[in-house]
Chain A
Amino acid sequence: MPFIPHTQEDVQTMLASIGANSIDNLFDEIPPALKSGGLKGVPPGLSEMEISRLMLERAETDGRYLNFIGAGAYEHHIPAAVWQIATRGEFYSSYTPYQAEASQGTLQLLYEYQTIMASLTGMDVSNASMYDGASALAEAALMAVRSHKSSRRILIPSTVHPVYRSVVRAIVRNQGIDVVELPYCKASGQTLAEALDEFGKEEFAALVIPQPNFFGVLEEVDTLTDWAHSKNALAIGVVNPMALAILTPPGEWGEKGADVAVGEGQPLGIPLSSGGPYFGFMACKQALVRQMPGRIIGRTTDQDGRSGFVLTLQAREQHIRRSKATSNICTNQGLMVTAATIYLALMGPEGLRRTAAQSHANTLSLLEKLETLKGVKRLFNGSLFHEIVVSLPAPAGEIMHALESRGILGGLDLEGYYPELGHAMLVCATETKTSEDLDKYAGQLRGVLENS
């Protein structure tokens, strides 16, 4: 019996103590008409050896590719220590730290995480994480509406990740919130500054500012932040935390700084893993802390005066406030944040800065190599972090497919998301790529284009 320790004798002794004749007896309060006819769709159990064989075969089917796709999930080197420690049973199999005295390990780690994320984003406070970047943005939008009071309108540039925009709509849809998209400049790939005033005529609760944006382009964050504030709205930064090692943090944007910063934490030590689990982060100005959803850790003292950590401001949360909570969110992504905190400690400020800088340099270097190919060129002239939109002489989907058979995942085909860009792909080269990798990509793309 997998994972069940009971011997026959145990079962008999236990039933006798209960006063039941059989285990079936224990289900006698369930109306017989409801009882199920069995599990015909569930295959028989496997041994660990058998399931290991099956999973290894499936993993091998999926193979390994030289990957140049980014688009919200980025391949970075993860030090071995990160997951060896994060998967220690004491982190892996512990519960939410409601019993603080029995959870000081997790709680202190989360306090360290909050400290690092607040500093990385230039904000005063951070929560203990959200589900992922997209849902964190949706929660930030809700937070802005709660604190604004008179407007339920959110401005989101169309340079924000298209799926993030879909997720925001899906989450806020039933709360009467109006999500308005802003156009982008065809030349720079930035949010179109000239269009802002048109959209700002009507009151709005917040402007979302991506940095870098989905095209990999850097936005004029100072101007955008100041404009939002001039309209009495909040500025919500949606940022790549790796980029913040070299870019101005949201808390320092414009005159007063953005009010909320959110984003996808995956670049900080979390494997790509087909899309999850990752973690979203959320940091904000002190004034908004009581509007922030999710778990928050605070430092306090115990009855002997020693320093210790607890979940705090729980009066915002669903288990206390029920229908009046700031959000229905209960969970954070504890284990992912555990990994991210260990990752950040191992990298340090210089390691993180170098990783970001090398990713930036590799992408520029790749661009240089790709632009030597006929019909391949950079589409936007805005400055970039580590991702870039490249236009191609043939449909991107076909080219990606041909590259795949050569062992390369060339980038994300943008035609479905931004049909007006024509044959275009979004490409990313992080620090994991060597110059040989970049040469290989350029060489294979040349081969594909010559054969098409």
Chain B
Amino acid sequence: MLIFEHSRPGRRNYSQSPAAAEIVGIPQNLMRKVPPLLPEVSEMDAVRHYTRLSQKNFSIDTQFYPLGSCTMKYNPRACNSLAMLPQFLARHPRAPESTGQGFLACMYELQEILKDVTGMAGVCLTPMAGAQGELIGIAMIRAYHESRGDSARTEIIVPDAAHGTNPATAVMCGYKVVEIATDKEGDVDMEALKAAVGPQTAGLMLTNPSTLGVFEKNVAEMSKLVHEAGGLLYYDGANLNAILGKVKPGDMGFDVIHINLHKTFSTPHGGGGPGSAPVGVAPRLLPFMPVPVVGSDNGMYRWLTEKDIPQTIGRLSAHMGNAGVLLRAYVYVRLLGAEGMHRVAEFAALNANYLMAEMSKAGFEIAYPTRRASHEFIVTLKELKEKTGITAMNVAKRLLDKGYHAPTIYFPLLVPECMLIEPAETESRETLDAFVAAMKEIMEEAHNQPELVKNAPHTTPVRRLDDVKAARELDLTWKQV
């Protein structure tokens, strides 16, 4: 039932509304005539309705979520409760800096910590999601070239395995996208890269470890190649979790990076946001950083603005980005400390390689069997599909019945019937073993009871939903019948 179907005219929450006040001086043509369609329910009705809705979700707090490229690790509760201290919540974004020294101290220290972790010269915390981090990064690359009068650079190179946000971002920044292929080992095809790089190259966007779950071994050579041609290197930090404390993007030669705090730094995914994606830059891009950035003058923290960074690419949010998410990330990095950060990559790698080994032993085909898993790996179900007609989608849906969130499927697109599996460091061995057992059961079902798998899921609040109907007969809002 929708909340609107619980609604009864005239029912309302008296403790949640002020006394009726008079509206003065607003002309009639500017006044609303018909009240908006908001539910009229009691507080208890609303609480029950949304509590029940929450129970229809899978979540990290209730299920294993081996979702490749998404880093679904435990979100420590302390991060949430400390970011929601009343003074932090009540602070207005335009309140003077003198009233926010406690908050700004956290932001400044987070900036400094992220600089060290990434090996970059400067960090700006304001980008509100990975795709916005990318937009800022590519805009800085463009501003850099333009500031040098180097305006013939029109192309951004993107590997074919990249996230869709990479090419979409390059286009939003006015660039043409050149896609390059991946070799048999899962690395960027160096010959294709050499052929693509030239005086027209503005930059290369790279995810490392890549979305295929492997570390690009030739990254130093790639960096040299692009830099020698006058291009810059963009690091998509989607998989930073795999190398935290082990390798720094700055040391690999990247000029600009974004970090997905909702992945590596464990801020909540929240059912699809808010994200947060600080951007780090090498020295040559410092003059173009977006504003505001937190600065420190004699122990007083303040916002650096257009006045301090006159060549800035500008502002990308109304205030300072997702401040509350940044506070959660700050608490997380302080809980981990340097040692804890090293362990993130170590145990993410241990879990991924263990799960890969166990799945291989259980008979699953690993897409890049000669490679180490970074913090994720790919299983291909091509053979299963050929033999039984059961697809990666079917297996994914059947996993839901067994109480597991499905891995990422059909991404990257170059591996047929693929499942990109990322266990993250916070899962125990028992959970990984149980997942392998569930996958084995599904394989048996695929052979013995294929209809059971094809028609999955069976135990979720709804069964397979009709996507085609959803797009054809658009029903985007509820209407009173």
Contacts and interface: CB of A to CB of B under 8 A. Distances in A.
Given A15-B350, A51-B335, A276 B462 contact: no
B2 A108 contact: yes
A234 B2 CA distance: 33
Nearest to A13: B429
Contacts of B214: 29
B466 interface: yes
Interface in A297-321: 297-304, 306-310, 312-315, 317-321
B102 A26 contact: no
19 contacts: A3-B336, A6-B347, A47-B335, A58-B102, A90-B57, A93-B270, A94-B271, A96-B271, A112-B4, A125-B477, A126-B477, A163-B315, A170-B315, A272-B89, A272-B93, A274-B320, A276-B274, A353-B35, A357-B20
Contacts of B276: 277
B396 interface: yes
A207 interface: no
A108 B53 contact: yes
A401 to B, nearest CB: 7
Contacts of B366: none
Contacts of A297: 476
Contact of B357 (A17, A29, A79, A354): A17
B318 A59 contact: no
Contacts of A161: 318
A244 B32 CA distance: 7
A14 interface: yes
Given A23-B346, A34-B252, A90 B62 contact: yes
Contacts of A46: 334-335, 337
Given A19-B357, A336-B273, A308 B17 contact: no
Given A346-B16, A383-B30, A322 B61 contact: no
Contact of B426 (A3, A60, A348, A404): A3
A58 B301 CA distance: 13
B318 A360 contact: no
A108 B331 CA distance: 32
Interface size class of A (residues with CB under 8 A): 35 or more
B80 A92 contact: yes
B117 A39 contact: yes
B224 interface: no
Nearest to B455: A303
B263 to A, nearest CB: 11
B50 A42 contact: no
A85 B25 contact: no
B317 A351 contact: no
Given A36-B248, A116-B37, A116-B38, A103 B54 contact: no
B269 A34 contact: no
Interface string B152-185: 0000000000011101111111100100000000
Interface in A16-56: 17-20, 23, 26-31, 33-36, 38-48, 51-52, 54-56
Interface string A113-139: 011101110001110110111110000
B59 A64 contact: no
A275 B93 contact: yes
A394 interface: no
Summarize B's interface: helix, strand, loop or mixed.
Answer: loop
A258 to B, nearest CB: 14
Contact of A93 (B18, B61, B243): B61
Contact of B102 (A62, A88, A328, A347): A62
A111 interface: yes
Interface residues of B, number: 198
A385 B24 CA distance: 9
Contact of A132 (B19, B170, B318, B406): B318
Contact of B350 (A23, A106, A246, A306): A23
A174 interface: yes
B447 interface: no
Contact of A171 (B99, B135, B167, B220): B135
Nearest to A357: B21
A100 interface: yes
A39 B103 contact: no
Contacts of A17: 354, 357-358, 361
Contact of A79 (B22, B43, B317, B428): B43
Contacts of A11: 350
B128 interface: yes
A52 B425 contact: no
B142 interface: yes
Nearest to B411: A319
Nearest to B41: A345
B92 A104 contact: no
Interface stretch (A69-77, A148-156, A181-189): A69-77
A72 B290 CA distance: 20
Given A335-B271, A360-B21, A27 B100 contact: no
